Structures are given as structure tokens and as C-alpha cells.
Chains A and B, each alone.
Chain A
Amino acid sequence: MAKRATLLLIAFIFILVSFLPVLTLLIKSLFPHGNFFIGNYVVLFQSSRTWILLWNSLSFAVVTTVLALFLGVPMGILFSKTNLPFKGLFTLLFTIPFIVPSYMIAVGWFYALVPQGFLARILGTQVSEIMLHSFFGFRGAVLVMTSVLLPVVVILTMTYLGLVDPRLEEAARLSSGWILTLRKISLPIISPGVFLAGLLVFTLTLGEFGVPSFLRYSVFPVEAFTQFSAFYNFDAAIGAAVPLGIITLFIVIIERFFLRKKNFELMETIGKEARIPIELNQWKPWILILVIIFALVLVIVPLAGLIIKSSSLATFQKTFKNSMDSIFRSLMYASIGATLLTFFGFFIGYLLERKVFRFAWAIDSVTFFLFALPGTVIGIGLIGMWNHPTTNFIYSSAAVIILGYAAQYAALGERMMAATYAQIPYSMEEVAQITGVGWFRRLSGIVAPMANRGLITTWLVGFLFCLKDVGVTMMIYPPGHDTLPVRIFTLMANSPEETIATLCLLMLGIAFLPLGALGIIFKKSRFKSSC
């Protein structure tokens, strides 16, 4: 009884604070003057601009996904299964663009390509001018988002390859080479993981605001922000969100009916045995050079663009001093946001994994829907919901930002905790239950300690996503509550390039905190298990 009541209450609170604002937004758009009216939508879909935006958004997401998969899957194989040198270093290097707000990579490229930039000096002004010209728009946006989301594919490929039973590969190796083994055994087994990676890249690209906005590429999330912020056209802003909502629903359906079942099939094949690395032999130097080239293009060039611009120590000190409040707020709000995400994840993940209610899948779908929805749209929903004198204590405080984080990223916490619970045998809870131990004691005495690592990882991943958020925070931050990514964004107009580059590096520095902590946790746990 306590279990069902608690989980029901928490699910209800989550729906209330996270999904209701978006739902209200949609309902409001259907009843613009109190009566049901779909005229706005008819006009919306008759407008050629809607179709242009739809084409732009879809082509942006599709091309980025294809490129990220094309590069990420081989890299994942190289970093997890081969004897390529510096694998750990490469994995870390390729992860950097993912841990910072994505527009920072665009800024880095821009600073490298401008006439005074280091790339312009190396390649010559004419070449860099042509590159800069092509950079603004579709090509630049795809390049940046590919480097930002490539680690999602690489890490998921590595993770899923780690789950493949090595005995299957070894059996195949008796009669064939590694290429055939990978093609016929490993890759088919990890295909749901690759598909999931592709889906995540597609979803995150579709909802991306920062990069297309910086690179002046018109897509729906930017349109929603502009319609609301520049024109104060609520209907048009919602209109821009509707096609995305429809695409998002499709993604949820695909994910629910195709992917989830396959994931669980894969989980059953976990093998713990030692793996034999793939020997690259004479290909090793060539592959190493190729990986270095990709690292240069996707990571080192934009980072160098930022580092070279921010070379003055005086600028660094001044910028740090002026931005201390924003840095502190970023860390604080990300901490609170991550705690809330872990809290929701702890209970909703349990609800999902243990299938406490029949409607658990619905809550899961809601969290994934919100994750896929652009932050700008969630922001508009939150403004509509909380901007009233009676709820001003939320609207005028950091609480509105935290609720935005909870809505946008709840899926992360919930899915990660569900995966953690999947590793904890339910029989342990059942034994305690038979001996008369109540649910709360089972939760605190058995489940929580066993989910220890999962909880901390969820918190750190939640922290990272909240820390780098731009879409939600930009829409709703109350006066005096700007975070560092928002500060960089608002300062960008007419600020000296050195200042922006320095701020971006500061952001990179604080984003390394959770990554470092994650590294320590996994190192410790690996050490423990080896003992």
C-alpha cells in the first residue's frame, strides 16, 4: 500500500510540474479564445515557411545522425575492441564537445576561421573566408552537432560491445576473421544499441537551439524562441512546436515498440569473461593517423580556436571575477537539478522497472517525450503555467529553472535508474518482504545501497545536462539568476572575442568536474572488482 501510494504520489507530482505546463500550452493553442479552433493550425500547415522549417529541421537531424553513426560506430569498435594506442585518451578527447554547451564548439570554429583566427593564418585568408561562409548555415550546424553528439554513439557502441558475450565472438573467430565476426556476430547483436544511439542523436539534434541559432540556420526550436521572444506571438511559438511534437511522438512510438524490448534481450547476454583484443597489425599507424585527423577536425580545432583567443591571463582573471556569480549559480542550480532528477529517477525508475502499475509505460513515454521536446517549448509552457501572482514564488525564483530541468531531463534519471534496478534481483526484496520488512525499509536498506553507483552516476549525468542547458534556462531565467551558459549567450553580442573565449574555457573547466568525478567512481569500482 505504502509502495503504491508513494509511487503514485511522486508520479502525480512529476506530471503536475513537468508535463502539465506543456499540455496546457497545447490545449491553450486549441482554444485560443475559449472556443475550440484549429484555424491557426490550418494556417500553420498552409504556410510555406512551416514546410521549409520542417525540411531544415529534419535534414539537419537526419544528416547529423547518419554522420555521427558513420563515424561513431567504427570509433566505438576501435576504442573498445582493438589494440589502438591511446584509446582512453581519444575517448576522453572525443567526449569534450559533449560536456559543454554545444554552441561553444561553434564559437570555437568561428574564432579559428575569422581572418585573425589561427586557421585563417594556416590556410590563408581566401580559403578560410570560403570555409567561414560555408560554416554559417546547414554545413556548419551539421559539423558542430556531429562533433558534439559523436561521443553518444562512441560510448553507447563501446558499452553495448562490452555486453556482447565474448564466447559468441570467439566461436565465430574459429572459422573467420575479425571483420566477418564483427559484421555477422557483434554488430547484429549491438544493433539495438546503435539504433538507440542514432535515435538519441536525432532527438537531441532536432531539439537543439544553441548551434542553429548561432549559425543562423532556421529550425523549429529557433523559430519557437524567436516567435515568442522577438514577436511575442504565442500562437506562432506554439505552432512552431507542434510539428516537432508530432515528430517527437513518432520517436516515442518507435522507441517504445521497437527498441525497448530489444534492449532487454541484449541485457540477458552479459558476459564477464576476458576479451581478446583485435590486433590491428600493419593497419595500426594508418588508423591512428585517421583517428588523429578526426580528433583534430572535430575537437582540437574548435578548442584551439577558444584557447588561442583567450591567451591573456589578465582577461582570464577579469572575466572570472565578473562571472563568479554566474558560475556559482550554474553549479548550485545544476546540483539542485541533479538531486531532483535523481529523486524522480529513483522512484519513477523503480515504477518502470518493477512495473508497479500498468500505466508505468505511459509515464516513461511522457518523460521521453519531454526529453525530445525543445527546451524553448518547455520554457514557454512553464512561463504560461507559473507566471501568475499566486505562483510568483516559483516564477520569480530559481525554482522555475529547476522545474525546467526536471521536465527536460527526467528521462535520463528514470532510464538510468531503471537500468540500475534491472541489475538488482527482485528476489532480495521479496525475501525481506516475506520476513515482514516494510517497503520504505526495503528501499533504504536493500535497494538504495545496491543502487549506490547508479544513483551517483545518475546525479552526475543529471548535473552535466543541467549545467550545460541553454534552451530551457534562456527562456525562463528570472532576473539575476543567469547561469554561465546563458551569460555567455547574452554577452555574445558585441563582446570582445577574448572575453567570450575565456568564458567558454571556464565553462569547460567546470564541466570537467562531473566528468572527473565519474572517472574516479568507475576507476574505484574497477579497482574494487579486480581485488
Chain B
Amino acid sequence: MPKKYLKIIIFFTTACVFSSVSTTYARTNEVVVYVSEDQVFSEPILKDFEKETGVKVKALYDTEEAKSTGVMNRLLAEKNNPQGDVYWANEPIRAVVLKQKGISAAYFSPNAKDIPSPFKDPEGYWTGFSARVRVFVANQERAAFTSICDYTDEKWENKAVMANPLFGTTTSWVAALFTVWGDEKAKAFMSLLKQNGVKISTSNGESTTLVVNKQFLFALVDSDDATNAVRSGKGVQQIYPDQEEGGLGSLILPNAAILIKGGKNPENAQRLIDYLLSPETERKLAFADCAQIPLHPGVQTPPDVKKIEKIRSMKVDYEAVAKKLQEIQSYLKGWVGH
């Protein structure tokens, strides 16, 4: 047999051996985590966990194209053949959906005890940490926007933008409005959005860019998008809407740590959840570019990250929001014209 073939076979065999050896090694002490939080922010945290505990982390990250629901849907598809141990959701609504579908398991982390009760499931199926807030990113020269109702003000006709309500945190925000206002008022609001020419973008990131580029005056986005735009000196400001006394408040969307039922590494999964829920992780996420707001009291934050107790939050029941989110899917598809 020619030497060249022999070389190829040796390379192939070596590659296979490498693969199986590394897999076998990893299986002895690993945890499998599905992550909806952006990889650029979540990966360093998971690497730190690896370094500190020696537990190998095998992660599956979401993409922008899957609208942050791709890995959750993988979890749903794998219900009878679970691969993951932990799900790091970037907002609690998906966590509630997993609880409703019987994918998650209860776990009360000792690190969850200082986290305010609105941000954790009383039955332990999910626990929130490091939150984002739905805020306005607005042109610096026009500071008149104080409420989400500005979207429907004729003064701002064709001058506002928001992300597609079929995806991501915008869906959660719309569903939250339905639970707080009731169907009738929420639907009327959605109709007014259309009438007032609110432009629909593909993502919060795009909405921010459109405001930064002065194509629109304001957009409701996630606080990490707004903080980043402000930090990079792009002539925009961040506004927390509806903060007046008795006002609606801003929707707060914490990350959520979830234990997966039937995962193969339950002990390591609990260690990882404890790590994610620690004040130190919240501190790191506050100082990272995602600028997330810690839920533990007393966690150090940069000056431009508002403390959770200083924000008037929208009073929502995340379980009800998750239920509503599924109910209004077809309404939203019709609204968008999908």
C-alpha cells in the first residue's frame, strides 16, 4: 500500500483516538450547559467556573438568527433524550415555558436566598440573576421621551422603531403589557403603534443602530444595547420609561438559571447554578459590556449601571407572561404580517 495512504490512515486513526480520549476524559467530570445569553458575555463566566472548579463545561450557544430561542427549542426537542444539565436563559419567560413543559427540575440554590422573590420561582424551577431592563435608547438632543405611550404620540409619527415582537425580549415585553393592561387595551396599543408608523427592525441591536445613525429618534431596547451605545459616545442617551410616581414602570428581565430534569451530571449542574447565582458572577456581568444589573443587594457596579432598587419595575407575574406569550403568538404573527 502506498505510503501516502498509510499516512492518511494514521492521521485519521490518531484523530479518532484523540477525539475518543478527550470525550472519555471529559465525561468523568463535566457539565453540559445550554446558553441563550450572548456567548461573548457568558463564555468568560463559564471559563472562570472551569478554572475554579476543574469541572469541564460543554456549552451550546444560541445564535442571533435563532432569536435566542434556538437552544430552548433544542431542549424541547430533547425532552425524551436530555443532553443538557443546566439552561442559562437570558430571560425568565423561557424558563417558565420549560417548567410548564416538564423539562426543568426544582433546585433551591443557597446563593438564591438574597435574590428578591419576584425574580425567582417559588417552587425552585428557575432563579433569576443579573437583569436587563427594557429602556429607551434616544437621540441625545431630543430628551422628551418618558413613556412607552410616546410610541403612539402623533408628534413622533414615523420617528420611532422597535424590534420584531415575534422574537426575543420584545415578545416578552408585549406579553407583559397584555398581562398588565389586559387584552383589549394592549391590542389597542398595538394598533396605535401601527397607525403611528412605528418601524419594525429585526433585533434590538438593529433598533439601536437605527437610532445611533439618526434614522429614528428613539427605540425601546434592552439596557445592554443602550448602555453600550451610550458608552461608545454615539450621541444617544438611555431612558428608563414610565418611572413617574404610580407609573407603569420598566420591564425587568433577569437571566435565569435552570436545572434540567434527567441531566447526566446533576451534582455539577447544581455547582454551576450556585456559581451563576453568586454575587461575584453578578459583579462580573455588571462590569462586562452587557452591563447587567445585579439582583443581590450590595454588589459593586459601574456608575452607569443603575441599582435594581432605584428602578421602578413593571409589576409582572412571569408565569402569567409566559402563558400569555404562547396565547398571543398567532395574534402577533398576524400583527407583523408573517
A499-B40 in contact (CB<8A): yes
Q: Does B197 contact A (CB under 8 A)?
A: no
Q: Does A225 contact B (CB under 8 A)?
A: yes
Q: Does B143 contact A (CB under 8 A)?
A: no
B63-A489 in contact (CB<8A): yes
B67-A129 in contact (CB<8A): no
Binary contact readout A411-445 vs B (1 if CB under 8 angstroms, 0 otherwise): 00000000000000000000000000000000010
Q: Does B109 contact A (CB under 8 A)?
A: no
Q: Does B61 contact A (CB under 8 A)?
A: yes
Contact status of A492 and B64, CB under 8 A, knowing A456-B4, A479-B33: yes
Q: For residues 202 through 235 of chain B, which have their beta carbon under 8 Å from a beta carbon of chain A?
A: 202, 205, 213, 224, 228
Selected contact of B15 from candidates A332, A396, A448, CB within 8 Å: A332
- Minimum distance in angstroms from B40 CB to a CB of chain A: 4
Contact status of A388 and B80, CB under 8 A, knowing A335-B12, A397-B23, A495-B40: yes
Contact status of A222 and B65, CB under 8 A, knowing A228-B73, A332-B19: yes
Instruction: List B contacts of A49 (CB < 8 A).
Output: 338
Q: Does B28 contact A (CB under 8 A)?
A: no
Q: In the bound complex, how far is the Cα of B209 from the Cα of A216, in angstroms? A: 15
Contact status of A336 and B12, CB under 8 A, knowing A397-B23, A449-B2: yes
Instruction: List B contacts of A496 (CB < 8 A).
Output: 40
Q: Does A477 contact B (CB under 8 A)?
A: yes
- Minimum distance in angstroms from B165 CB to a CB of chain A: 13
Smallest Cβ-Cβ distance to A490: which chain B residue: B61
Instruction: List A contacts of B289 (CB < 8 A).
Output: 494
A478-B205 in contact (CB<8A): no
A389-B80 in contact (CB<8A): yes
Q: In the bound complex, how far is the Cα of B290 from the Cα of A495, in angstroms? A: 10
Q: Does B38 contact A (CB under 8 A)?
A: yes
B66-A226 in contact (CB<8A): yes
The range of chain A's interface size is 35 or more
- Minimum distance in angstroms from A487 CB to a CB of chain B: 8
Q: For residues 431 through 480 of chain A, which have their beta carbon under 8 Å from a beta carbon of chain B?
A: 444, 448-449, 452, 455-456, 459, 474, 477-480
Q: Does B115 contact A (CB under 8 A)?
A: no
A229-B65 in contact (CB<8A): yes
- Minimum distance in angstroms from B169 CB to a CB of chain A: 13
Main secondary structure of the interface of A (DSSP, over half): helix
Instruction: List B contacts of A452 (CB < 8 A).
Output: 2, 4
- Minimum distance in angstroms from A330 CB to a CB of chain B: 12
- Minimum distance in angstroms from A459 CB to a CB of chain B: 7
- Minimum distance in angstroms from B284 CB to a CB of chain A: 16
Instruction: List B contacts of A230 (CB < 8 A).
Output: 65-67, 69-70, 73, 167
A494-B40 in contact (CB<8A): yes
Q: Does B60 contact A (CB under 8 A)?
A: yes
Binary contact readout B45-78 vs A (1 if CB under 8 angstroms, 0 otherwise): 0000000000011111111111101100110111
Q: Does B136 contact A (CB under 8 A)?
A: no
Question: Number of B residues whose C-beta is below 8 Å from A?
Answer: 54
Q: Does A179 contact B (CB under 8 A)?
A: no
Q: In the bound complex, how far is the Cα of B41 from the Cα of A495, in angstroms? A: 8
Instruction: List A contacts of B26 (CB < 8 A).
Output: 480
Contact status of A129 and B73, CB under 8 A, knowing A230-B67, A448-B5, A456-B4: no
Interface centre among B56, B80, B81, B167 (most CB of A within 10 A): B81
Smallest Cβ-Cβ distance to B11: which chain A residue: A335
Contact status of A395 and B81, CB under 8 A, knowing A129-B213, A335-B11, A480-B32: yes
Binary contact readout B277-307 vs A (1 if CB under 8 angstroms, 0 otherwise): 0000000000001100000000000000000
B73-A232 in contact (CB<8A): yes
Contact status of A480 and B59, CB under 8 A, knowing A225-B65, A232-B73, A493-B205: yes
Q: Does B34 contact A (CB under 8 A)?
A: yes
Instruction: List B contacts of A232 (CB < 8 A).
Output: 69, 73, 76-77
- Minimum distance in angstroms from A380 CB to a CB of chain B: 10
Q: Does A235 contact B (CB under 8 A)?
A: no
Q: Does B18 contact A (CB under 8 A)?
A: yes
Smallest Cβ-Cβ distance to B26: which chain A residue: A480
Instruction: List A contacts of B19 (CB < 8 A).
Output: 332, 336, 398
Q: Does B16 contact A (CB under 8 A)?
A: yes
Q: In the bound complex, how far is the Cα of B15 from the Cα of A420, in angstroms? A: 27
Q: In the bound complex, how far is the Cα of B62 from the Cα of A490, in angstroms? A: 6
A332-B18 in contact (CB<8A): yes
B83-A479 in contact (CB<8A): yes
B81-A229 in contact (CB<8A): no
Q: Does B241 contact A (CB under 8 A)?
A: no
Q: In the bound complex, how far is the Cα of B27 from the Cα of A501, in angstroms? A: 33
Q: Does A383 contact B (CB under 8 A)?
A: yes
B63-A490 in contact (CB<8A): yes
Instruction: List A contacts of B76 (CB < 8 A).
Output: 232
Smallest Cβ-Cβ distance to A334: which chain B residue: B15
Q: Does A65 contact B (CB under 8 A)?
A: no
Instruction: List A contacts of B290 (CB < 8 A).
Output: 494
Q: In the bound complex, how far is the Cα of B264 from the Cα of A356, in angstroms? A: 48
Q: Does A263 contact B (CB under 8 A)?
A: no
Contact status of A493 and B58, CB under 8 A, knowing A129-B213, A335-B12: no
Q: Does A491 contact B (CB under 8 A)?
A: yes
B77-A494 in contact (CB<8A): no
Contact status of A493 and B38, CB under 8 A, knowing A228-B73, A335-B11: yes
- Minimum distance in angstroms from A236 CB to a CB of chain B: 10
Selected contact of B59 from candidates A115, A339, A444, A479, CB within 8 Å: A479
Q: Does A392 contact B (CB under 8 A)?
A: yes
Instruction: List B contacts of A499 (CB < 8 A).
Output: 40
Selected contact of B39 from candidates A387, A448, A491, CB within 8 Å: A491
| Interface CB pairs A-B, < 8 A, 19 | A222-B65, A228-B73, A229-B65, A230-B65, A230-B73, A232-B77, A335-B15, A336-B15, A388-B80, A398-B19, A444-B1, A455-B5, A456-B8, A479-B34, A480-B30, A480-B59, A493-B64, A494-B38, A495-B39
Supplied contacts A230-B69, A232-B76, A495-B40, 9 more A-B pairs, CB within 8 Å: A229-B74, A336-B12, A387-B77, A387-B81, A459-B8, A480-B32, A489-B63, A495-B39, A496-B40
The 8 nearest A-B residue pairs measured at CB: A480-B58, A229-B66, A229-B70, A232-B73, A479-B60, A495-B40, A493-B64, A490-B61
